[in-house]
Amino acid sequence: MQFPIKTVLYAAVASLVLIGAAQAQRTDIRIGVVLEPPALDPTAGAAEAIDIVVYQNIFEGLTRVDETGAVQPGLATDWTISEDGLTYTFNLAEGVTFHDGTPFSAEDVVFTFERILADDSVNAQKALYAPIESVTAIDAATVEIVLERPSGMFLFDIGRGDAVIVSPATADTNATDPVGTGPFRFVQWNRGSRIQLARYEEYWGELPALTEASYHFIGDTAAGINALLAEEVDGFNNFASESIALFEADPRFKVLVGTTEGEIIMATNNRQPPFDDLRVRQALAHAIDRQALIDGVSNGFGVPIGSHFAPHHPYYVDLTGTYPHDLEAARALLAEAGFPDGFSTAMKLPPVNYARLGGQILASQFAEIGVTVELINVEWAQWLTDVLTNKDYDLSIVAHVEPFDIGIYADPDYYFGYDDADFQAIISELSTTTDDARRRELAVAAQTRLAEQAVNGFLYQLPQIGVWNAKVEGQWVDSPIEGVVLRDIRWVD
C-alpha cells in the first residue's frame, strides 16, 4: 500500500490553519442597538442612544463613572477640594491628544464648561452645572473650578456624557463627526445602519483589547433575534425580555441581567383633581400590584420600587411596603375622598412596551377599585408637548433614566405639579451637602417623603438585559450611567 503522503500533508496544513485560527483572538465587536442616535454630540442632546456609542469610548470627561456608579479619575488624574467645598483643583493627564491630533490642555476644559454655561447653550443638563462660578486654567495641566455653593454630586456630574471635554476646533461638528480624547475614534456612520469606531492608537491611557467596534441599529425585535442567531452581531446591550429564554437555552450566548438608572413611574398630575387629594393617590398606590405588572410587561425582569430611586444605589431604601397591594384599603381611601364608586380618568401612553402594556395592566388593576382608565396612545413628540410641556394629562407611564434625578420633584413647575415645601427643603440641603453620612440621611428622607406622599405610582426599575456571545467578556452588567463602555470588552476562549 502506498503511503498517503498527500493526505497527511493536507491534514497537517489544515490543522495548522485551524490552530492558527483558534489562536488569533478576535479584536472586533459588533453590537446591536435598538435605537439609532440622531446625532453624536453628547453635550447637545439627551438621547441615551448618543451615550451608548460615544460615552467613555470617543469622549471622556474630567471624571468618569464606573460600572458600580462610583466616580473614577478621567482626564483629571487627581484633584483636591478646598475646606469649604467650593474650590476644586484638577491635575490633568499628560500626553493627551484629541483624535485630530491636537493636544489637550486646560484651555479645552475652560472652553467646554464655558460652552455649557453660555446663554445660548443647548446642553440638555445645563442646570446641573449652574453652581459653577468660574473655570480657570492655572497652567496647561491644572484647572481650578470654583462653585457658588458646595455640591455633593459635582464630581459625578462632571463625569456625565453631558460634560465630556471637547476641542474648540471641532465642537461645532461633533454632531456628525465626533472628535474626542477617548480610546476609540470615530470612523464612519452609515446612517440607518451602523457606526464604526477604531481604537485610537495614540490614546494616553491603557489601550483597550478591542481594535474595532461597530454599532448596528436593529429596531425590530424579530430582526434582532435573527441577527444574533445568525451571528451577524456579537451582542445586544439591552434586549427585549420576551425572547430571553431562547438565548438562555443556547450555549452560544450568555444573558446578563442587570439594573439601570431608569425608574418606571406612573406619572400623576398632582395639580389636577382628583389627584390633588393625597387619599386618591394613596388609593391608587394600594391598587397597584407591582409584581403582576412586572410579570406582564417584562416577563418578570425588573425590581419593584417604592420611590424614585435606583435599587443599586448605596443610599437606596426599600419603600415598596409603604402602600402595599391592598384593595380594601384602596376602596376605603377612595370612599373617604368622596369617590365611593370610583371615578374615570385618562392615561397617556408613549410608544414603548412598558408604557403600552403597563397601561393595560394598570387599567385592569384600577378597575378593581372602580377607577376607569381611558388609555390614550401618543407618540414621543406628542408626549413631550402634551404631558411634559403643557401638563395636559391625568396619568402617564414613563421611565426617568437620568442617574440620581430625585431632585426633579423639587421643581413645582415640573410636569408632576408637585409643590411640597418639606421635600424642597430636603433637596436643597442635599444638593449642597458633601458629607456622605448626612447625604445618605437626606437621600433616605427624600425617598421616604415621595413614597408617603404617593406623588407618582412608583412601579419598577428598568432592567438591562444583555444578550452576548458567550466568548465576550468585560461588558457592564449594570448600567449606573447611560453608555456601552468598550474599554474592558474582550474575547476569551
Partner 1 sequence: MIPYVLKRLAGFVATLLAAAAVTFLLLDALPGDPARFILGINASPEAVQALRLQLGLEAPPLERFIRWIGGMLQGDFGLSYTQGAPVSALIAERLAVTFPLALAAMVISIAIGLPLGILAARRRGSLADTGLMMLAQLGVAVPNFWFGMLLVLLFSVTLRWLPPGGFVPWDENAWGAIRSLVLPSFALALPQAAILARVMRTALVDVQSADYIRTARAKGLTMGEAVWRHGVRNALLPVLTILGLQFAFLVAGTIIVENVFYLPGLGRLIFTAISERDLILVRGAIIVLVVGVTLTMLVVDLLYGLVDPRLRVRRASR
Using CB under 8 A as the criterion, which residues of the chain lie in contact with partner 1 when the complex forms? 36, 38-39, 44-47, 119-127, 175-176, 190-194, 216-220, 222-223, 226-227, 229-230, 232, 351, 379-382, 384-386, 388-389, 398, 400, 402, 405, 408
Smallest distance from partner 1 to CB 400, Å: 7
Cα–Cα distance for residue pair 363/375, rounded to 1 Å: 8
Cα–Cα distance for residue pair 180/202, rounded to 1 Å: 12
Cα–Cα distance for residue pair 373/421, rounded to 1 Å: 31
Residue type, 103: P
Q: Torsions phi, psi of 65, nearest 5?
A: -100, 130
Q: Based on CB atoms, which residue is closest to partner 1, 278 or 470? A: 470
Smallest distance from partner 1 to CB 483, Å: 15
Residue type, 203: Y
DSSP for 46-61, written as a single string: --HHHHHHHBTTTB--
Q: Based on CB atoms, which residue is closest to partner 1, 105 or 431? A: 431
Smallest distance from partner 1 to CB 41, Å: 8
Identify whether the C-beta of residue 100 lies closer than 8 Å to the C-beta of residue 75.
no
Q: Based on CB atoms, which residue is closest to partner 1, 96 or 213? A: 213
Question: Alpha carbon 440 to chain centroid distance?
Answer: 22
Report which of 385, 451, 442, 393 is spatially closest to residue 417, judged by C-alpha positions: 393
Maximal C-alpha separation, the chain: 102
Identify whether the C-beta of residue 341 lies closer than 8 Å to the C-beta of residue 371.
no
Q: Based on CB atoms, which residue is closest to partner 1, 126 or 271? A: 126
DSSP for 192-215, written as a single string: TTEEEEEE-TT-SSPPPS-SEEEE
Smallest distance from partner 1 to CB 47, Å: 7
Smallest distance from partner 1 to CB 122, Å: 4
Identify whether the C-beta of residue 200 lies closer than 8 Å to the C-beta of residue 184.
yes
Cα-based distances in Å from 449 to 290, 337, 410, 425 = 20, 21, 12, 11
Q: Based on CB atoms, which residue is closest to partner 1, 191 or 438? A: 191
Query: How big is the CA angle at 424 (ends 421 and 428), to the nearest 5 degrees?
Result: 140
Smallest distance from partner 1 to CB 48, Å: 9
Smallest distance from partner 1 to CB 191, Å: 6
Smallest distance from partner 1 to CB 379, Å: 6
132-139/212-217 β-pairing: unpaired
Q: Based on CB atoms, which residue is closest to partner 1, 366 or 393? A: 393
Smallest distance from partner 1 to CB 87, Å: 26
Q: Based on CB atoms, which residue is closest to partner 1, 125 or 322? A: 125
Those residues whose C-beta lies under 8 Å from the C-beta of residue 371, and which sit 6 or more positions away, are 284, 287, 334, 342, 343, 344, 345
Q: Based on CB atoms, which residue is closest to partner 1, 217 or 343? A: 217
Q: Based on CB atoms, which residue is closest to partner 1, 80 or 176? A: 176
Identify whether the C-beta of residue 8 lies closer than 8 Å to the C-beta of residue 210.
no
Taking phi first (over 0 means left), then psi (-120 to 50 degrees means alpha), and beta for anything else, what does residue 376 get? beta
**What SS3 state is found at 460?**
strand
Q: Based on CB atoms, which residue is closest to partner 1, 51 or 144? A: 51
Smallest distance from partner 1 to CB 395, Å: 16
